[in-house]
Amino acid sequence: MELTDFREARRRIEAKQRHGGDKLTSVEEAARLVKDGDTLAVGGCLFTRTPMALVREVLRQRRQGLTLARNLTCTEGEFLLVAGAAQKIVTSWMSIGLPWGISKILREYAEQGRARFEEWSHMAIGLRFRAGAMGVPFLPTLTMLGSDLMGVTGAKTMACPYTGETLCLVPALFPDVALLHVHRADRLGNCQIDGYPHMDSDIAKAATTVLVTAEEIIPEDETRRRPDRTIIPGFLVDAVAEVPFGSYPHECYGLYEADFQHFGDYAAGIDARGSAAVKDYLDRYVYGPKGYADYLDLFGMETLMRQRRFARELTA
Amino acid sequence: MGHTPAELLAVMAARQLKDCTAVFAGVGVPLLAAVLAQKTRAPRLTIVIEGGIIGMEVEPGRLPISTNEMRGARRALMLPSITDTFLLAQRGFFDYGFLGGAQIDRYGNLNTTAIGGSYDRPKVRLPGSGGAADIIALCREIIVVTFHERRRFVERVDFVTSPANLEGNGSRRKAGLLFGKVTRVVTNLGILGFDEGTGAMRLEALHPGVSLDDVVRQTGFDLILPPRLDTTDPPTDEELNILRSVDPERRFLG
């Protein structure tokens, strides 16, 4: 069960040793901070800035009983389900994207009752992380009222104490662990993101433990030269690892485009063979390669450089 | 010039948008409609996308596939966080919301969650709300853009993901939805609206070459019929050419 009690969430933060020390480690060591049964909040959105290296490592370490919480869920959700690592997903939407149709993995697991999908509206997911980031038990909102989503989630209504109008209340979501991928971080964990901020800043503040991969580890002095770009202060962060192409085959703004051809091949495999295709994919892309460099070798340098060129063109 | 149903939908939806307004649109046909409006009648239309884009301008051939990828950010005015984007809608800044759905009922309610069975064991699981439930609750005027098929236009949706008029007769207001209003349903057969009193769907206009019988055959409930039916103007070559230049790969134009 996801933590929603703001008192316990506060106790967990106070019980932690918060220090300004060195957080730099490997992605393998960072992922060891994930425990069986944890609720993982995954940063980015859909196929953008997904912390793929961290998700991949959580799978390699064979964690069990996880809950995934994400605004829009993409291939990483399918991996966690088929690997047997997660049986519950808290989200607002799940598919790779419109051109690839409805996720057949979502259908298989939902229709056979093999996993629970707790569906909130996109904004409600965001407000749950925002409430967590604020350290308050819930936030009032005007969305989701009248929707059947009210009955399948933990949302409640109340009469506004000032106007009497009906409000929707969404409970804070305090993830056990946040998995984030950013453009730059220093050894102290100060993180900078280019392009879309998504919900990463709120997720980092709401979570008990924050794991970050960065495309580049920069000196502290460089962070200090551009403090306006820092969106997560280092004292929130528990571990940071340098992983270039750490979202691949998902995109990282300005650095590489999502590999749509790879998505197409992956989706075609699922169309033909359902979750058995994802099992094979996991063997080839997750469990097989030893390190992340071996994983990237499966895509090939030529492809990675092509995707980098596309990204540069799109953000030039 | 001939056209596909998706092209017709995009053209007819684009014509609903006034200049100097803001539209909250999803990717696919709704975004194509918003871009077409921006390139024709509404050059000062602000396009907002839920992934966190304000002021999107799409370059030909660079139509975004998701609500939050690089193509969408190119030439945008601002990239706020997702939550802050929705909060602008809640504050009342967005004139229009564009939505679609797998099922729509007599009162305009939309289902993108599940068909048949129960929520926990659905017969067919759909992707989910995404921002749809938010857009329908928070924008000022909501315009549904959808293909007109009998399996979609049902008496009652299996699951109300995005509530329009709920059970009609003011039940939307009673649920606490104070501000937004679903004003139009734009389909590939015609334009529909809602009766002010009962909140039930009413046919307003047919597209050229479409008969009343075509609409009735593709609708799974009784529509309110006005005394006189308008006919829309067919898509112009200019409108179709713009759409085709924006989506040359025909990812969403069919």
Domains of chain A, each with CATH number or no CATH? 6-125+173-315 (3.40.1080.10), 138-171 (no CATH)
Residue A46 pLDDT level (bands cut at 50, 70, 90): very high
User: What average pLDDT score do residues A120-127 get?
Assistant: 98
Percent share of chain A, pLDDT over 70: 99
Cβ separation A92–B130 shorter than 8 A: yes
Question: CB B79 to CB A195 under 8 A?
Answer: yes
The chain B residue lying nearest A128, using CA atoms, is B83
Q: Of A116-125, A131-140, B25-34, B152-161, which gets the smallest average pLDDT?
A: B25-34
- Annotated active-site residue B50? The verdict is yes
Kindly tell me if the per-residue pLDDT of B55 is higher than 80. yes
Confidence tier at A241 by pLDDT (50, 70, 90): very high
* Mean pLDDT of the B91-101 span: 95
What pLDDT was estimated at residue B52? 97
- Distances in Å between the Cα of B227 and the Cα atoms of A97, A128, A229, B197, B224 are 43, 48, 60, 17, 10
Residue percentage of chain B with pLDDT more than 70: 100
pLDDT of residue A16: 87
Does A93 touch chain B if contact means CB atoms closer than 8 Å?
Answer: yes
Q: Lowest-confidence range among A98-102, A106-110, A127-131, B91-95?
A: A98-102
pLDDT at B103: 97
Interface check for A92 against chain B (CB to CB < 8 A): the answer is: yes
Check CB contact of A87 with chain B, cutoff 8 Å: no
Verdict on whether the full-model pTM lies above 0.80: yes
Question: What's the pLDDT tens digit per position in A86-121?
Answer: 999 999 999 999 889 999 999 999 999 999 999 999
| Rounded-to-integer distance, Cα B157 and Cα B102, Å | 9
DSSP 8-state class, residue A198? T
Query: What pLDDT was estimated at residue A15?
Result: 93
In DSSP terms, A86 is beta-bridged to A66
| Domain coordinates in residue numbering, chain B | 5-246
Burial A224-239 (b: 16+ CB within 10 A, else e): eeeeeebebbbebbbb
Q: How close is the nearest chain A Cα to the Cα of B40, in Å? A: 25
Give the amino acid at B169. Answer: N
Closest residue in A to B71 (Cα) is A314
**Residue A18 pLDDT > 90, yes or no?**
no
Which of B83, B172, B249 to mutate against chain A (most A CBs within 10 Å)?
B83
The mean per-residue pLDDT over the stretch A131-159 comes to 98
Out of B90, B129, B177, the one facing A146 most closely (by C-beta) is B177
pLDDT at A19 over 80: no
Asked if the model's pLDDT at residue A20 lies above 80, the reply is no
The closest of A123, A143, A138 to A169, measured between CA atoms, is A138
pLDDT of residue B61: 85
**Does A137 contact chain B (CB < 8 Å)?**
no
pLDDT of the residue at B217: 98
Confidence of residue B59 (pLDDT cuts 50, 70, 90): confident
Q: Above 90 in pLDDT, residue A122? A: yes
pLDDT of residue B26: 86
C-alpha to C-alpha distance for A101 and A99, rounded to whole angstroms: 6
Query: For residue range A191-230, what is the model confidence (pLDDT) as tens digits?
Result: 999 999 999 999 999 999 999 999 999 999 999 999 999 9
3-state helix, strand, coil in chain B (%, to 5): 25, 20, 55
Question: For B5-246, which CATH superfamily applies?
Answer: Glutaconate Coenzyme A-transferase (3.40.1080.10)
Q: Is the pLDDT of residue A143 over 90?
A: yes
Mean pLDDT of B6-25: 97
Give kind and range of the element (H or E) at residue A179.
Answer: strand A177-185
Tell me, yes or no, if A63 comes closer than 8 A to chain B by beta carbon.
no
Interface test with A, best of B63, B65, B67, B70 (most A CBs within 10 A): B70
Cα of B72 to nearest chain A Cα, Å? 9
As a whole number, mean pLDDT of residues A5-31 equals: 92
Q: What angle do CA B69, A308, B31 make, to 5 degrees?
A: 20
Average pLDDT, chain A: 97
Whether A122 and B68 lie within 8 Å, measured CB to CB: no
- Residue whose tokens read 């409430």: A131
Instruction: Report chain B residues whose CB lies below 8 A from the CB of A113.
Output: 120-121
Statement: residue A17 has pLDDT above 80? no
The helix or strand, by DSSP H or E, that contains position A241, with its residue range, turns out to be strand A239-242
CB contact under 8 A, A122 and B127: no
Residue A174 touches chain B, beta carbons under 8 Å: no
Q: What is the pLDDT of residue A1?
A: 80
Q: Is A142's CB within 8 Å of B177's CB? A: yes
